[in-house]
Chains A and B, each alone.
Chain A
Amino acid sequence: MSPPLLSVEGLGQGNVSLMASQVTVDSLSPASLEFKERNYLGLSDCSSVDSSPASNLCKENKSNLNLKATELRLGLPGSQSPERGPELNLLATGKLNEKNLFPLAPSKDGICSSSQKNVVSGNKRVFSDTMDGFSEIKGPSYTEGNWMFNTSRTDSESAQPVGLGKFSGSGNINVMLSSGSAVTHAALVKEVPQKALEAGHHLKTANASKVNGSNNNTSAPAAKAQVVGWPPIRSFRKNTLATSSKNNEEVDGKPGPGALFVKVSMDGAPYLRKVDLRIYSTYQELSTALEKMFSCFTIGQCGSQSTCGKEMLSESKLRDLLHGSEYVVTYEDKDGDWMLVGDVPWEMFIDSCKRLKIMKGSDAIGLAPRAMEKSKNRN
């Protein structure tokens, strides 16, 4: 029989209760905060089996419990709000605790087909290994791509989950970049508690623009709010709407609504990203976003060269790396041909782009002449 679960009553003794029906609402007192606290700590199993992590958690919970549960938190993972425990308060000091931010490098091949990858210990390297050598840093050391480029817009609630994205994902980059980015983080820190305040005190008005405008400290006020997955509409529908409304152009010249998600893959990256092309209006914007999204791979690739070893990699160096012979961005068009990004006018590109791929410059050599020819034929 399995050990007693976290039953609401009984606190780890006597009632071996597996059924939810045993967990009754009645057993909860109104002062449930306290109750839960006891309940949580009363796990005899927990303390005997593996005391340190569990009791640490208990301790932390004890101190934070009364605060947390009643606070109007907006539940940011890794939130920058100062109410949280000191170990999370990394940004307040302006210093980035690299150890906590810098994600672990995954296994070498990055292909997730092999078994026993995560259940058994093994293939993953510890942070200290990677920090020393910058060698072969691949894998999920970046955050969800959408999150990242949404920060460049930071409209409305996108600041919330996105805050995290930028926080930890660029933790990567910030380790190596100049302190300029710390300022942006500070800005984000300020934004978050303010948002919490807003929501908590029902300051929401029906004025839609307030949501958009309120924390638009960074850039592009013109871009619409883009929270990942909100509103909840399937990609197929979004893309279809986008193309059909383009066909019937709005009279007042509003930009085409809807999103146009295309997959972006990169040689050596473990998995794909999706990018909404409608967010950008120039190649430069797209390029910057892609750089941010996939920068860690580039860094990893250059790791073998001694130059990248310990010195701070500035943003411009990053760009040079991408624009140098290392990587090029290509796309698959409607006819199934692979072309270099940047040859055709932006509007035409959006129209015909089905998929993006970042490949090594050496692989892309054959593409350039074809692309030129094609656009010649079109004109």
Chain B
Amino acid sequence: MAYSFPEEVLEYVLSFIKSDKDRNAVSLVCKSWYEIERWCRKRVFIGNCYAVSPMIMIRRFPEIRSVEIKGKPHFADFNLVPEGWGGYFYPWVIAMSKAYPMLEAIRLKRMVVSDECLEMIAKSFKNFRVLVLSSCEGFSTDGLASIAANCRNLRELDLRESEVEDLSGHWLSHFPDTCTSLVSLNIACLGSEVCFSSLERLVSRCPNLRKLQLNRTVPLEKLPNLLCRAPQLVELGTGAYSAELRPESLSNLVNAFTGCKKLKALSGFWDVVPLYLPAIYPVCCGLTSLNLSYANIQSPDIIKLVSQCQNLQRLWVLDYIEDSGLDVLASCCKNLEELRVFPSDPYELEPNVPLTEQGLVSVSEGCPKLHSVLFFCRRMSNAALVTIARNSPNLIRFRLCILEARAPDYLTNEPLDAGFGAIVENCRKLRRLSLSGFLTDRVFEYIGKHAKKLEMLSIAFAGDGDMGLHHVLSGCDSLRKLEIRDSPFGDQALLANAAKLETMRSLWMSSCSVSYGACKLLGQKLRRLNIEVIDERGTPESRPESCPIEKIYIYRTLSGPRFDTPNFIWTMDEEGNSPLGIA
């Protein structure tokens, strides 16, 4: 069979197959297809940097041009993962610098990237084009300067929400005059001022620039200049959206925006002076994405904007939009697919704005294409959730955060089990779910029973006991990532479903009731998982085995225990001992 199809033909066919899943399927057909496929795979996605070592990746795929790697667990975003946990990019860049000289793209999420790494990238990969650092940390603007100075063909530099040590804005001036290849530049997370004239010149000489996200220090007065030099922009992130009131300021802005005929996405909007908002009205009808989540503007202004964006597909906004604004959204934006509403005052438990569950219900009623929701609110009811579930059966992502932990249905004082149960029962395509509010084991029964497509579940302050966790682990067939905090789940559910853990990418549990003894047992039984106990109180060996550990992170891996764990993490080993060797 192998010789009925010449390799070259198969390779050619495979070049049309881009998706990882399909590629993986191809490689399972037979040995020769495995070989052919691995030699021509160009992109690899590694969801957990410790699941596989650089050597394994390089050995299997010798011709990679693009890597995407994720590091820390998701809960690191909320300070639940202690500093020093890991996720270092360094070993990867060292290995790849030798193995993949033609590497073009690196996309990282929640990894620790040092300036040294950036320098290695800059000097090792001659054809380097794309660097996306999402929620990364560990580097400074000096590292960025290396990238700017040395990557001749750089197309994308995207620093999305990374924590950068901002030494100065001077790094931007390191882009040589010969650099004309930029397509996307996102420096929104940087704090210091970049040299504006360098920025202007850079923008002018890059005719393919499609995406430009400025940082807060770029003043509004300078925006028209930039926009005039880049009328082909498709995505723009403004800097601070405020300026001294001058008559020509507004008209300059209006003209500049009018010139941007291709603009589809807007973001930024720090420190907004509402007077200048009408400047973007000319582009509203073409907008598909609008991020006002940093904009301190009130409902009337938001409504004026949103009501003009009939083609809006994605809206990120603060709760200043209020229920009234969400009503308008529901009636004007029939193409809305994704809505995120963030809290303007997250630590205040008393409502500061009239934003309630009603707003979300309205949107679910009015927007038939709604598939992704992230909603922070102060109260919720089962009735509302049931209605939302009925209105939006096509939900893919539903993340609800009721600000007060364990808040019950505000109408009936009952748990919100029935409401979330309705969500999982009606929304058959649901892939991601985040729970909040007062929940018993019953909600997990529903989830285990209905959420068959669920891939990622986030649980906080929920459940009664092990049965809850058991329902999830035994019922959710597609579960890949499970993260739990402050919930009374313990040993029994974990141990009874230990086999499940090998089918998942990772499990995070913090402030639960998992005992050290159970961790040791898991480590002993499940050789292909790393069972990492995170405990800042010192070695778990100094406490009884039944004593619960603070945090545990379990993930499957081909590489065995990692060697870069800090001294507050213990990896359970095969002998069932604490790896410290203390009996």
Contact = CB atoms under 8 A, between A and B. Distances in A.
Interface of A: 2-3, 5-8, 17-20, 22-25, 28, 32, 36, 39-40, 45-46, 49-50, 53-54, 56-57, 60-61, 65, 68-79, 84-85, 87-88, 99-107, 110, 112-113, 115-122, 124, 126-127, 139-144, 146, 156-157, 160-161, 164, 168-169, 171, 199, 202, 204-206, 208-209, 211-212, 224-238, 240-241, 244-245, 247-248, 257-259, 261, 263, 270-274, 336
Given A53-B576, A245-B296, 12 more contacts: A60-B546, A68-B490, A124-B580, A164-B550, A209-B350, A231-B403, A232-B77, A235-B163, A241-B345, A259-B347, A270-B84, A274-B79
A107 B580 CA distance: 11
Contacts of B563: 115-117, 119
Looking at B135, B438, B527, B535, the one whose CB has the most chain A CB atoms below 10 A away is: B535
B181 interface: no
Contact of A22 (B405, B499, B579): B499
Contact of B486 (A71, A122, A160, A241): A160
Contacts of B527: 2
Interface stretch (B100-108, B276-284, B510-518): B510-518
A70 B467 CA distance: 9
B520 A53 contact: yes
Nearest to A271: B84
A236 B541 contact: no
Interface stretch (B38-46, B204-212, B300-308, B409-417): B409-417
A144 B347 contact: no
Given A121-B579, A156-B405, A40 B492 contact: yes
A229 B163 CA distance: 17
B511 A77 contact: yes
A107 B565 CA distance: 13
A84 B548 CA distance: 11
A161 B537 CA distance: 13
B237 interface: no
B321 interface: no
B63 interface: no
Given A72-B488, A229-B80, A88 B575 contact: no
A74 B536 contact: no
A106 B582 CA distance: 13
13 contacts: A57-B517, A73-B465, A75-B486, A75-B512, A76-B511, A103-B542, A117-B567, A143-B537, A202-B408, A204-B438, A208-B378, A234-B135, A245-B296
Given A5-B498, A61-B491, A204-B406, A233 B464 contact: no
A50 B524 contact: yes
Looking at A112, A113, A234, A235, the one whose CB has the most chain B CB atoms below 10 A away is: A112
Contacts of A241: 294, 344-346
Interface of B: 75, 77-80, 82-84, 135, 161, 163, 167, 189, 270-271, 293-294, 296, 342-350, 376, 378-379, 401, 403-408, 410, 413-415, 434, 438, 448, 458, 460-461, 464-467, 470, 474-475, 485-492, 495-500, 502-503, 510-513, 515, 517-518, 520-521, 524-528, 535-539, 541-550, 561, 563-571, 573, 575-577, 579-582
Contacts of B541: 104
A262 to B, nearest CB: 12
B293 A237 contact: yes
Contacts of B84: 112, 270-272
A78 B528 CA distance: 29
B499 A19 contact: yes
Contacts of B407: 204, 206
Question: Which 7 A-B pairs have CB atoms at the shortest separation, nearest pair first?
Answer: A103-B538, A121-B581, A75-B488, A229-B78, A208-B349, A57-B517, A77-B548
B193 to A, nearest CB: 12
A69 B344 contact: no
A37 to B, nearest CB: 8
Given A23-B500, A32-B470, A244 B294 contact: yes
Contacts of A244: 270-271, 294, 296
A49 B542 CA distance: 22
B83 A271 contact: yes
A116 B488 CA distance: 33
Q: Is the interface of B mostly helix, strand, loop or mixed?
A: loop
B502 A208 contact: no
Contacts of A3: 525
Contacts of B406: 157, 199, 204
Nearest to B295: A244
Nearest to A198: B406
A212 B490 CA distance: 27
A120 B581 contact: yes
B499 A118 contact: no
B10 to A, nearest CB: 31
Nearest to A56: B545
Contacts of B346: 231, 233, 238, 241, 257-258
A283 B413 CA distance: 42
B544 A100 contact: yes
A74 B581 CA distance: 32
B498 A6 contact: yes
Nearest to B408: A204
A291 B573 CA distance: 36
Given A73-B465, A103-B538, A143-B537, A118 B496 contact: no
B413 A205 contact: yes
Contacts of B517: 53-54, 56-57
Contacts of A56: 517, 545
Given A77-B512, A107-B567, A229-B75, A69 B579 contact: no
Given A49-B524, A141-B538, A229-B75, A28 B515 contact: no
Contacts of B503: 19-20
Contact of A271 (B135, B167, B294, B566): B566
A81 to B, nearest CB: 11
Nearest to A169: B537
A269 B466 CA distance: 37
B579 A120 contact: yes
Contacts of A273: 83
A5 B527 CA distance: 10
Contacts of B461: 157
A247 B486 contact: no
B415 A6 contact: no
A225 B582 CA distance: 40
Nearest to B242: A247
